[in-house]
Amino acid sequence: MSESSTSTRQQYTPPPPELGPGQTSHTSITEKITSIVLTPHTPYQWFIVVLIGLMLVGLLQVSIAYLLYEGIGIWGLNVPVGWGFAIIHFVWWIGIGHAGTLISAILLLFRQKWRTSINRSAEAMTIFAVMCAGMFPLIHTGRPWLAAYWLFPYPNSMAVWPQFRSPLIWDVFAVSTYFTVSLVFWFLGMVPDLASFRDRAKHRVTRVIYGVLAMGWRGSAVHWERYEMTSLMLAGLATPLVLSVHSVISLDFSVSILPGWHTTIFPPYFVAGAIYAGFAMVLLLLIPIRRLYGLQDFITLRHLENMGKVMLTAGLIVAYGYFMEQFIAWYSASVYEGFMMQNRMFGDYGSFYWALILCNIAIPQFLWSKRVRRNTVWLMFISFVISVGMWLERFVIVITSLHADFMPSSWDMFYPTFWDWATYAGTIGFFLFAFFLFVRGMPVIAAHEIRTLLPFGKKEK
């Protein structure tokens, strides 16, 4: 009896720190993750969120239809403020999409094991955020069938080619490449888990659907070898895209001569802000899903704490960017730069500027505390505040530089209309609707990657 108990103790391996105490075998991990999708029972909270998303998608459809009928005059644009909510939300959504590729690609290359529980949902978030962002460059022209095709480099009957020196053309290449690589990376990573769904599904239709999506995956040594090689190749390809996409978008502003935009700090400043906003959105989505589906053993407090540390680091870089904007305006001794910064802080939109300082710099300093980083309520609150702050940052950058430029005779205020807000709310609804459909039909956590962590559990002493 004593020998048997000793043998049992020697065979027991506690889970690694990346997992909770309830997940100590391949079977328990696979069953828990697949049950989220293959169960016939869906939480009522899921239906509430999807219903709200569908209602907002309907509002988006009405807003776009009315826009195409009437033109961009339905928005609050005027003579000095030619860029309004459309460009603000384009940059905001692209920024949110950065966290997925960062978690998936860069942390994969650095062999960070804690990414395995959050990478799949972050990748899905990237796809849907980029889709929301892609709507705005198309509709902000008001007549996309007359103007949008000028952004694509093809010879036309008038022999007029796009201006390849324009960053607007670079946006098309950068964003489309980023979306394509992220989509392939996301789908490729799900193939082993889709095969698990295929093997565990009870209904024939479900088996056929997941069988087609699994693309003949059998888990052989050759399959795993090619899978690992392709994953690393895509990660290496996606890593520079994280830096290039938002850098290119920042050039839309910095190549201009408008005060407040004409600065070289914009590319790194925009990239850091994108990571900041992206991780905040990941936490806003994962904390409720973690609670709703009982995923505390997979998305542990250690994962939440690490994401809080990344947000804190990115927030400090963003704060440095704010300081450098002020310093450059002062050090340049430019009358226009100095006026723009003074107007930004104490002018008509001064309250927006100080609100973004509060949201993006002051409140996130609570993340220095470990107790705050491991408290889901505090993390949700700070993540929401950061999301609002990053929206305010885009608003301040775009509007304050446009509404009071070089000619006082053309100064005017920007007031968003109902249709501005309706379009924005509609993209949020589309994002929520698409993400929760993904949660219900696809693996929200990479089960095959979680299983690879089990050998790293600490042996019991």
Domains of the chain: 77-414 (1.20.1630.10)
How far apart, in whole angstroms, are the C-alpha atoms of residue 178 and residue 152?
Answer: 16
Which SS3 state, helix, strand or coil, does residue 36 take?
helix
Q: Length of the chain in residues, anyone?
A: 461
pLDDT score for 9: 45
- Reading the block at residue 68, the tokens are 């195409």
pLDDT score for 160: 60
pTM for the full model? Answer: 0.87
* Cα–Cα nearest to 127, from 367, 430, 330: 430
Residue-wise burial string across 235-268, b where 16 or more C-beta atoms lie within 10 A, e elsewhere: beebbebbbbbbbbbbbbbbeeeebbbbbebbbb
C-alpha triplet 377, 121, 124: angle, nearest 5°: 130
pLDDT (tens place) for every residue of the chain, 461 residues total: 444 444 444 454 566 665 655 555 667 777 777 788 888 788 889 999 999 999 999 999 999 999 999 988 899 898 888 888 999 999 999 888 877 777 777 777 777 777 777 888 888 898 999 999 989 988 888 888 777 777 666 665 555 666 677 777 788 888 888 888 888 888 888 888 888 888 888 888 888 998 898 888 888 888 888 888 888 888 888 888 888 888 888 888 888 888 888 888 888 888 888 889 988 998 999 999 988 888 887 888 888 898 899 899 999 999 999 999 889 888 888 888 888 888 889 988 999 999 999 999 999 999 999 999 999 999 999 999 999 999 999 999 999 888 888 888 888 899 999 999 999 999 999 999 999 999 988 888 877 777 776 665 544 33
* Other CB atoms within 10 A of residue 427 CB: 24
3-state SS of 183-229?
Answer: HHHHHHHHHHHHHHHHHHCCCHHHHHHHHHHHCCCCCCHHHHHHHHH
pLDDT score for 455: 62
Q: Are 118 and 295 a contacting pair, CB within 8 Å?
A: no
